[in-house]
Amino acid sequence: LAKTTQPISMDSYEGQEVNITCSHNNIATNDYITWYQQFPSQGPRFIIQGYKTKVTNEVASLFIPADRKSSTLSLPRVSLSDTAVYYCLVGYGQNFVFGPGTRLSVLP
Amino acid sequence: DAGVTQSPTHLIKTRGQQVTLRCSPKSGHDTVSWYQQALGQGPQFIFQYYEEEERQRGNFPDRFSGHQFPNYSSELNVNALLLGDSALYLCASSSLWGTPSHEQFFGPGTRLTVL
């Protein structure tokens, strides 16, 4: 049974780097890993997507080890506005499975 | 350039009724996926439509059905509503169906309350 897990919550201070890890043991060979950010009463917003190794864009980095059984979203120098719920999404064959979400609280 | 739009924003129904939710994809996208998000939980995949056909489906009963129109817009229908169907229903659009990479753009959702 496909399952995706994440820490339920994390706290950080402004300016720090935050790393959120998602476990996805049963990821299919050709599936990608995508991370989303969600604010209350809004739809999820795309952050970054990757297949293996490391991907970086203007807002985040994504690290994926060789076995692809986990992935780590890295947010450099977070600000108060980064307080949100972060989800990983993994394609499992004919299904797409979101993780339970990690509630990140950024403190001043 | 409009993003993904959904209607209505909020909806209240009673048990046993039927509901139809609507979604217009982002310009240039041809694939629409629907998700159910219960309060405090992650979105759960319902199904995905491409070329007016259901291509992939999650673990949802047949009470949940959908349709995609030639202009790529989509509807989600839920019959015989249960209290447990109360949730935020999200529509996401994407392109390049059939490829592993599926960057999906989400709408703001429709909040359904079943009394």
* pLDDT tens-digit series, residues B90-108: 999 988 665 556 678 899 9
Q: Summarize pLDDT for A73-93 with one digit per residue, the tens.
A: 999 999 999 999 999 998 766
Q: Summarize pLDDT for B67-80 with one digit per residue, the tens.
A: 999 999 999 999 99
pLDDT given for residue A81 in this prediction? 96
Residue A21 has pLDDT above 80, yes or no: yes
pLDDT given for residue B76 in this prediction? 98
Residue B105 near chain A (CB below 8 Å):
yes
Facing residue for B101 by CB, picked from A42, A49, A87: A49
Q: Summarize pLDDT for B8-43 with one digit per residue, the tens.
A: 999 999 999 999 999 999 998 999 999 999 998 999
Facing residue for A91 by CB, picked from B35, B42, B102: B102
pLDDT given for residue B95 in this prediction? 84
Q: Do B108 and A45 touch (CB under 8 A)?
A: no
B108 CB burial (10 A radius; 0-12, 13-18, 19+): middle
Question: What DSSP character marks residue A5?
Answer: B
**Testing the interface with B: which of A95, A102, A103 to mutate, by most B Cβ within 10 A?**
A95
CB-CB contact of A6 with A70 (8 Å): no
pLDDT given for residue A91 in this prediction? 78
**Testing the interface with A: which of B56, B93, B95, B112 to mutate, by most A Cβ within 10 A?**
B56
pLDDT given for residue B104 in this prediction? 85
Placement of tokens 């506005």 in the chain: A81
- Residue B7 to residue B62: CA distance in whole angstroms: 22
- Residue B101 to residue B115: CA distance in whole angstroms: 39
State percent of chain A over pLDDT 70: 95
Residue B3 near chain A (CB below 8 Å):
no
In the 3-class helix/strand/coil scheme, how is chain B assigned residue by residue? CCCCEEECCEEEECCCCCEEEEEECCCCCCEEEEEEECCCCCCEEEEEEECCEEEEECCCCCCEEEEECCCCCEEEEECCCCHHHCEEEEEEEECCCCCCCCCCEECCCEEEEEC
Q: Summarize pLDDT for B36-86 with one digit per residue, the tens.
A: 999 989 999 999 999 999 988 999 999 999 999 999 999 999 999 999 999
A84 to chain B, closest Cα gap in Å: 12
Residue A1 has pLDDT above 60, yes or no: no
Residue A8 has pLDDT above 80, yes or no: yes
Length of chain A: 108
Residue A56 has pLDDT above 80, yes or no: yes
Q: How confident is the model at residue A2 (pLDDT cuts 50, 70, 90)?
A: low
Facing residue for A96 by CB, picked from B41, B45, B109: B45
Q: Label residues B65-76 b or e (16+ Cβ within 10 Å = b).
A: bbebeeebbbbb
The mean per-residue pLDDT over the stretch A59-83 comes to 96
Residue B53 near chain A (CB below 8 Å):
no
- Residue A20 to residue B106: CA distance in whole angstroms: 22
CB-CB contact of B45 with B38 (8 Å): no
The mean per-residue pLDDT over the stretch A27-51 comes to 90
Strand, coil or helix: what is A36? strand
Alpha-carbon separation of residue B84 from A25, A47, B14, B92 (angstroms): 29, 30, 11, 22
